């Protein structure tokens, strides 16, 4: 192996791009990060980072900062639309994992990453206002052309530029519009007192009749928390897939207006939101190739998926770790990009399709199917709880954060 490492051109300064930059820096591989935005302003909603991704961030020395900002989740809980308890299962360290699960504000996660990148790589490595137009390559290297900035050259380029990736569009010009699932989302954050354990990731209801996912993402000294909530329901009046599109309570509240449970008042939660964002449930059909010579795709540019199960950000973090490792181990960066694709493409494509058809809340859908959507007296008379646990374990295995898979990655 030669001592000289290639200078990697990273197109995109989001979760995946910054994790990649930090992973390369840890291995003494130089890189440059080019972010389209003129300033970092990530969307202000929550994200769940499971133990398989926290392992990567912990190895980068970031766990103490994540603990300062986020809430360490203790359990996943499931309720029907009547507020009846269906299932609870411990998560992260409470389920035997070596690494925790953090529910965290996306802006806080991004701050942890950008602060570390600025400190370790230096501000001269992070370039704002660089929107990629196209990437050109030949036998000697790549040139990244930007819309309003000087072009940059290097041995390889990695497109981590999100759902609307210019890199993906260049290689798949006829891909067409995103895949619409017929579901709309509204998301918001509300400061209020804790509910349930104060560290619960809770899913209520089903998409067909209205579903919510609710969890805390910040803890305040006065005992209150910032609660992240999202809704899903079938809708035909979809807006453009823009994470910053504002929304209003009256647009979505109808299925949830009677959700006043003894453990949570949902109408009160949504009415107290600091802001609301509207977003259609979209992804893209999987492609069969990410790596094209000296260029590859990572994160949402490679495998855009429904934002379910904490997988969008997590899979980008896992992508980044594997690329950095391969570039460190191999002399030929082009071969490293191809092996990265071989290791990750089938895995993430499977998650894309699973998130469409069988996300974690299929547990609630199964109970609703058996009860006809009506309240039940005894869950055990309707379904064996072991069957619900099996559904949950199946999703964890697909997403790569089952206890067995996380432990095997540690070895």
Residue 177's pLDDT is what?
86
Closest C-alpha to 302, from 343, 356, 341: 341
Domain ranges of the chain: 8-51+104-177+284-357
Q: Exposed, middle or buried by CB within 10 Å (0-12, 13-18, 19+), for 68?
A: exposed
> Cα–Cα distances in Å, from 289 out to 10, 171, 383?
19, 9, 42
pLDDT (0 to 100) of residue 176: 87
pLDDT value of residue 84: 96
Q: What Å distances lie between residue 218 and 26, 68, 107, 258, CA to CA?
A: 29, 9, 11, 27
Residue 16's pLDDT is: 97
Tell which residue, 220, 228, 232, 225, has the closest CA to residue 202. 228
The phi-psi region of residue 198 (left if phi > 0; otherwise alpha if psi is between -120 and 50; otherwise beta) is left
pLDDT tens for each residue of 214-223: 999 999 999 9
Regions of the chain where pLDDT drops below 50: 1-2, 411
Cβ neighbour number for residue 220 with a 10 Å cutoff? 9
Report the distance separating Cα 33 and Cα 234, nearest Å: 38
pLDDT for 309 equals 73
CA atoms of 167 and 34, how far apart (whole Å): 13
**pLDDT at site 409:** 63
- The candidate with the shortest Cα–Cα distance to 202, out of 326, 323, 361, is 361
Give the closest residue to 401 by CA, choosing from 98, 3, 8. 98
The confidence score (pLDDT) of residue 397 equals 77
What Cα–Cα distance (Å) separates residue 73 from each residue in 44, 125, 355?
19, 34, 21
Integer Cα distance of 360 and 94 in angstroms: 19
Q: What is the pLDDT of residue 2?
A: 45
Tell me the β-bridge partners of 135: 144
- What local confidence, expressed as pLDDT, does residue 237 receive? 66
Mean pLDDT of the chain: 91
Q: Determine the Cα–Cα distance for residues 54 and 300; give it in Å rounded to an integer.
A: 19
Q: Residue 1, class by beta-carbon neighbours within 10 Å (0-12 exposed, 13-18 middle, 19+ buried)?
A: exposed
CB 15 within 8 A of CB 163: no
Kindly report, residue by residue over 284-315, the tens digit of the pLDDT.
999 999 999 999 999 999 999 988 777 889 99
The CA distance from 4 to 40, in Å, is 32
pLDDT at 3: 53
Q: What is the pLDDT of residues 96-111, one digit of tens each?
A: 989 999 999 999 999 9
pLDDT at res. 238: 60
- 8-51+104-177+284-357: CATH number: 3.50.50.60
- C-alpha pair distances (Å), 330 with each of 31, 138, 340, 411: 16, 20, 12, 21
- Residue 316 CA to residue 270 CA, distance in Å, equals 30
């Amino acid at each position: 192996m030669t001592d000289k490492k290639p200078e990697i051109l990273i197109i995109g300064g989001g979760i995946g791009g910054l994790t990649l930059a930090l992973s390369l820096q840890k291995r003494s591989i130089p890189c440059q990060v080019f972010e389209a935005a003129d300033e970092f302003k990530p969307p202000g909603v929550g994200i769940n980072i499971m133990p398989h991704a926290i392992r990567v961030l912990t190895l980068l020395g970031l766990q103490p900062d994540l603990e300062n900002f986020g809430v360490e989740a203790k359990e996943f809980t499931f309720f029907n639309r009547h507020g009846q308890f269906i299932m609870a299962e411990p998560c992260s360290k409470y389920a035997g994992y070596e690494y925790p699960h953090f529910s965290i504000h996306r802006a806080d996660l991004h701050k942890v990453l950008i602060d570390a990148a600025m400190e370790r790589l230096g501000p001269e490595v992070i370039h704002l206002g660089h929107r990629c137009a196209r990437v050109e390559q030949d036998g000697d290297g790549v040139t990244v052309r930007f819309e309003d900035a000087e072009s940059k050259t290097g041995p390889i380029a990695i497109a981590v530029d999100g759902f609307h990736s210019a890199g993906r569009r260049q290689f798949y010009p006829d891909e067409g519009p995103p895949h619409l699932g017929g579901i709309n989302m509204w998301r918001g954050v509300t400061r209020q007192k804790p509910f349930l354990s104060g560290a619960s990731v809770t899913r209520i209801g089903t998409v067909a009749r209205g579903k919510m996912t609710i969890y805390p993402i910040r803890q305040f000294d006065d005992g209150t928390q910032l609660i992240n909530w999202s809704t899903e329901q079938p809708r035909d009046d979809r807006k453009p897939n823009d994470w910053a599109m504002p929304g209003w309570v009256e647009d979505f509240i109808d299925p949830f207006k009677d959700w006043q449970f003894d453990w949570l008042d949902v109408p009160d939660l949504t009415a107290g939101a600091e802001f609301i964002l509207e977003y259609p449930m979209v992804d893209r059909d999987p492609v069969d190739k990410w790596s094209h010579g000296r260029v590859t795709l990572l994160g949402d540019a490679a495998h855009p998926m429904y934002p379910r199960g904490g997988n969008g950000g997590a899979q980008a973090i896992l992508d980044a770790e594997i690329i950095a490792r391969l570039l460190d181990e191999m002399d030929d960066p082009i071969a490293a990009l191809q092996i990265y694709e071989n290791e990750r493409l089938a895995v993430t494509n499977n998650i894309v399709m699973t998130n469409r058809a069988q996300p974690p809340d299929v547990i609630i859908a199964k109970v609703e199917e058996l009860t006809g959507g009506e309240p039940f007296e005894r869950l055990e008379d309707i379904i064996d709880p072991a069957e619900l646990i099996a559904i949950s374990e199946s999703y964890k295995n697909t997403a790569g954060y089952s206890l067995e898979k996380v432990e095997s990655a540690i070895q």
